[in-house]
Chain A
Amino acid sequence: NAGVTQTPKFQVLKTGQSMTLQCAQDMNHNSMYWYRQDPGMGLRLIYYSASEGTTDKGEVPNGYNVSRLNKREFSLRLESAAPSQTSVYFCASRRQGTGNTIYFGEGSWLTVV
């Protein structure tokens, strides 16, 4: 059971470089999310997608773009990385409906130098 799969797991970028974090889920979930986790801050929502073809900003969207390529895949792009984007990124998904568990990927550790 793959669940939510993220790649890459680790990445070091130089300031100004771009990269895309990939996320795929095999649970036929409608909603997908990208969070970032920073020490002492909990997790903060960057973007979400309630269904294929739709995306919306969360709490901290600046500096990021997303694409919901199809129902399975939801990617997060950093166009010009900044040191403030050093963080752990988590992708998550859930099936719409009351009380459905939200499943998280294993995380992607990104360092911007």
Chain B
Amino acid sequence: ELKVEQNPLFLSMQEGKNYTIYCNYSTTSDRLYWYRQDPGKSLESLFVLLSNGAVKQEGRLMASLDTKARLSTLHITAAVHDLSATYFCAVLYSGGGADGLTFGKGTHLIIQP
């Protein structure tokens, strides 16, 4: 059974600071997704990481994937209030007839002025 663990689950930080969210998963996979969710809203795709060593950046967010360690990180640089949201990592399992994303429980991020 594929398990995806995120930490921390809750993070309060100040504007201008840097921080990293970690995502560990239990089964070999090379397709990892990061999503953002605002309260009461749907999930917005941030990054799709396809291979070992993949790194993607968009604005103040940067995601990386280490398939050997089964670890992905989402790094926030010089945080701003607008980045306050819940961030989910998810691993795509597609094999043996199965399909679908397995999600972590999410990291609730609050960025304070």
A-B contacts counted at CB < 8 A amount to 55
- The answer to whether A90 touches B105 (Cβ under 8 A) is no
**Per DSSP, are chain A's interface residues mostly helix, strand or loop, or mixed?**
loop
Quick check: is A40 within 8 A (CB to CB) of the other chain?
Answer: yes
Size bracket of the A interface: 20 to 34
- The answer to whether B45 touches A42 (Cβ under 8 A) is no
**Per DSSP, are chain B's interface residues mostly helix, strand or loop, or mixed?**
strand
Listed by A's residue number, 10 A-B pairs whose Cβ atoms lie within 8 Å are A42-B105, A43-B101, A48-B100, A90-B43, A101-B48, A102-B45, A102-B101, A103-B45, A104-B43, A106-B41
Interface residues of chain B, those whose CB is within 8 Å of chain A, are 4, 9, 31, 33, 35, 41-43, 45, 48, 50, 88, 90, 92, 97-106
Interface residues of chain A, those whose CB is within 8 Å of chain B, are 31, 33, 40-45, 48, 50, 56, 58-59, 90, 92, 98-107
